[in-house]
Amino acid sequence: MLLDDASGRIVYEENVIGAQEAARWHERLLDSPIWRQQRRMMYERELDVPRLTSHFSAADPGLPWPLDVALERVRALTGERFNSIGLNLYRNEHDSVAMHNDRLGDLQEGHPIALISLGATRRMHIRNKKHAAARRLDLDLAPGSLLLMSLDTQLHYDHGIPKQAHPVGPRISLAFRTRKPE
Ligand SMILES: O=C(O)CCC(=O)C(=O)O
Ligand SMILES: [Fe+2]
């Protein structure tokens, strides 16, 4: 347990997926043709998002292995149903996600966000929006780990994965969310 107060709850647990199994999931996802390069407007220019992404609905009857197994596992671990699976692929040390909070407007109140990490360990920064210097966590997200963030933490904290100076292999994250019905 990293945080549990009025600003929300953040739980980090390693080895919720065994090392060998996490490695097999990583290998399969890395080699699969699901990855997309998103573009985003920034400073009036369209830029590549600095990582590859993918998305599945949990209700997708064609959910490919290992996402079907991962979904069942995360459901069992958290007691949450989840209806959305977002994937991020950080190819190397140059890939990143900028500090942000997940968009609350899209998400169903009262349901956490669960992140499963696969592949290389990358550091996540978690910063309180008002007291970034005092209330911060630097978390090394190990393969096979689960990070659970309650939705209210997204009001009070930003999180991100910075680029890093030292070479690193690919990392994949699976983000399980409960989206509002469209
Ligand atoms: O890769 C991660 O662990 C974090 C990804 C993330 O913050 C997101 O997809 O919103
Ligand atoms: Fe996020």
pLDDT digits (tens, 9 = 90+) for 137-163: 999 999 999 999 999 999 999 999 999
pLDDT digits (tens, 9 = 90+) for 64-86: 999 999 999 999 999 999 999 99
- CATH architecture group of domain 3-34+47-173: Sandwich (2.60)
Among candidate residues 181, 131, 134, 128, the one with its CA nearest the CA of residue 154: 128
Which range is least confidently modeled, 2-6, 49-53, 89-93?
2-6
Residue 182 has pLDDT above 80, yes or no: no
For the question of an ipTM over 0.85, the answer is yes
**CA 161–ligand 1 middle distance (angstroms):** 8
Domain positions in the chain are 3-34+47-173
What is d(CA 150, CA 170) in angstroms, rounded to the nearest whole number?
Answer: 27
| Residue 150 Cβ contacting ligand 1 at under 6 Å | no
| Residue 115 Cβ contacting ligand 1 at under 6 Å | yes
Residue 1's pLDDT band (cuts 50, 70, 90):
confident
Residue 181's pLDDT band (cuts 50, 70, 90):
confident
Who contacts 104 (Cβ-Cβ below 8 Å, separation ≥6)?
151, 154, 155
For residue 127, give Cα distances in angstroms to 74, 95, 172: 25, 20, 22
| Residue 118 Cβ contacting ligand 1 at under 6 Å | no
Question: Under DSSP, is residue 31 helix (H, G, I), strand (E, B) or coil?
Answer: helix
